[in-house]
Structures are given as structure tokens and as C-alpha cells.
Structure 1
Amino acid sequence: MSFILNIETATKNCSVSIAKNGETVICKEIAEEGYSHAEKLHVFIEEIIAETGILVHDLAAVAVSQGPGSYTGLRIGVSAAKGLCFALNIPLIAVDTLQTLASQAKVNEGKIISMLDARRMEVYSAIYNADLEIERPILAEVIDENSFKDFTETIYFVGDCAEKCKLVLSNENFIFLEDVKYPSAAAMSKISYDKYQKSDTVDVAYFEPYYLKDFMITPSKKQ
């Protein structure tokens, strides 16, 4: 029996879950504009361990969202995960944030495009098939009316970019699943357990989040 603590803090959603053998037992999360991760994360961790009825030493591993996403949010989540792994001498598992988001789509056909807001019309995105196999790696890109226009199958968009992107992404085969806005630690459970079974872990000391920042350089204004 393997209990894994999943931590997701890459977006406005501060989310924590405990899973047993890949099935979510309990999840606590809150999405706030003010990014309350620093205040909520450790409280959530303590609460779900207590409510699950296990001891912290019963954890087999800790999984953390590795990004891309909020710099501050990722640092908070990774720091907490590393601290637990060091203290308990258990492995650290890194989970792609956009894969977690895509797994929440629950579709049987077409493509899933996970997108997280960067700034203006810029997004972090990755493309998956309905089996959650990645078909195009994570990119930082600017969205316009020509984005993804070569796709003829149904395209499902998930993430927090719907409001701005659906104004320019208007093809008939484009569907925005607006209820899937933020990645959740509950959706990490199967992914992290699969990685745990394969011993697909990262070095606790040297692991760093995948920020994918500063891909657009704005020229400085001339004085």
C-alpha cells in the first residue's frame, strides 16, 4: 500500500491531495486572486494527513507540480515537498503541470491543449491526445487567430486562458472546457503513482521547477 502526497501550487490554485495506490483519498484546495499558498499549503498538508488517518511516516513519496507556472507558487510548493522528502528520506516525484491540467478534460477523442496564462496574449501550452500522450512539447507562445488552425479534429482547450483566447480562437472545432481552469492535486494521483512504480523520481537536492519564463523580450525604451 503506497500513500503519496501530491502538491500543486503552480497557479492560483493551492491544492494538496493524498492518494493510495493512485486513487485520491482526500483533496483540499482553494483558488484565490491573492495567491494564499504560503499561508494555506502547510495547513492543508497537516489537515489531510490527519483526516486520512495516517502518519506522516506512512508516506511513500511526495509529488510536486514542476511547472510551468507562477514563479512564487512553484517555489513554495517545491520547497515544501523537498523539506518533507529530506525529513522523511522518501523520493520526490515531479509532475508536469500541463499534463495534470490535460488529465482533467475527460474526453475520448480529439486533442487536448493545456494552456496557462503568461501575460497579454502569451501562454504556456502543450498538446496531448485523448490518451494523455504528449504530441507537442511545452512551449511559450503568443496566441493569435492563426494558432492551431491546421488542426481538423476537435480541439479541447483547458486552463485559465479561455476568457482571452476564445476571442481569437473561434474555429468550429475549438471547444473551451471552461470548468477546467486550474490544475488540481486530485488529478495528480494516477500520474504520480505511475511514476512511483517506475521509480521515475528526481534528485531532492538539485531539482528545480520548470519556470519557462522570459521567452518574450521587450526592448527597453530609449531615453
Structure 2
Amino acid sequence: MSELEDYPPPRGYLPPDPARIQQSLLEEQVELWWFREPRKSLLCYCASVVLILGCGLGGVGLLSTTTSVSSEWRLGVGTALCLLALAVLLKQLLSSAVQDMNCVRSRRRIELLKSGGLSDLLVVLLTGLSLVTCGAVLLKVALANHMPKPGQALNDMFISGVVLLAGGGTTVLAVALYSLVVFLINRTDPEQRLRDRGVGVFTISGRMRETRRETASSLAQLI
């Protein structure tokens, strides 16, 4: 051990960088790839929950008020809302199941399937576009039938169309704004951002020794 401690370091020796070592260890941990961006994952997960509750409750509300043939639009729109809520829920359940089974070892597929990944954005975007489509159709039918008429209260079809159009438009704009913010963040010093993200997710216990004697002692003990 004394010989290793007294052995002179090679010329140009640089002490190890703890942050770089931590990042290298992170790259080898497949389980941690699902949690590399916790804030983004939490934001997308909350948005999915809001969509599930909103579409589900709206669909159930419309279906429960369908009482006659004249309310066929309630049946169609209510069914569409329930299917949208089910699609968002299935996506979240699929991501959780794949993560728990640990059957995916590809970084590209994990980045696609994890909460906050590309699949979440696509599901939320398609849901928003579907809401906009349903709202536009209802408004078109309501205005074609001269509803609401002057001096009369707004009818249910017109109100539902406005609500769906506003909710879908807000969802699409939120996805576009979110994508723009993520793109700008990725453009600003990606290496430093990746290093900070790795340190925030996983921290090695202990501190790397920078002196030559302590480094040699650790190497000797390891051997």
C-alpha cells in the first residue's frame, strides 16, 4: 500500500470530476431513465388527470341527461368524451405497467412512453383537437338552427359547443406553449442542464477525494 501511495501520478493527471462520474453512473441505470425529468413528468401527469376528470364527468353528464330522440347530440358527444377520457387513462396505465415490468431497455422507447414523454404530448394534443372538433360541430349545428334566438336563453347545445371549443383550444395552446418552452430550454446549455438534472435525481454518498494520496489509498483498498 505504501508503494502505491508514493507512486507519482502521470504527467497531465487531472482529478476526477464528481459530477461527470455521477452522470456516467446515471447513464447505466435503466430504472432511473423513467425519472430523469420529474417536474416535466409531474406536469404532464397532472394535465392528464385534469383531462380524464373533465372529459369523463362531462361525458357522463351528457349521457345522463339523454332522455329522448331529440337529444341524439348528447349521446354522441357524451360517448366521444368518455372515449377520450378512457384513451388518456389507458395511456397512463400502459406507461405504469411497462415501467413496473421493466421490460423496456431502450432509452428511445422509455423517452417515448414515460410520463412527460412524446406519447403524453401526442395524447393531450389529440384530445384537445378532438374537443375543438366536437365544439365546432355543435356550434355549427346550433347556429344553423338559429340557436340561440334573440330574447331566449342559451340552449344546451350552444353552451356545450362553447365549453368544448374553449376547453379544446386551451389544451392545444397549452401543448404548443409547453413544446416551445421545452425547445428553448434544450437550446440553452444542454450539457450543464443534463449534469444538474443527474445530480438532482441521484447523488453518490460520500465525496470524491481529490488529493493524490487519498485516491491512491482508495485504489489500493479496492484491489
Bigger relative contact order, structure 1 or 2, given CA contacts below 8 A and separation 6+? 2
In which range does the TM-score fall when normalised by the shorter chain? under 0.3
Q: Counting helix residues as a fraction of each chain, which structure ranks higher?
A: 2
Higher share of residues assigned strand? 1
Larger radius of gyration: 2
TM-score normalised by length of structure 2: 0.23
With structure 1 as the length reference, what TM-score do the two structures score?
Answer: 0.23
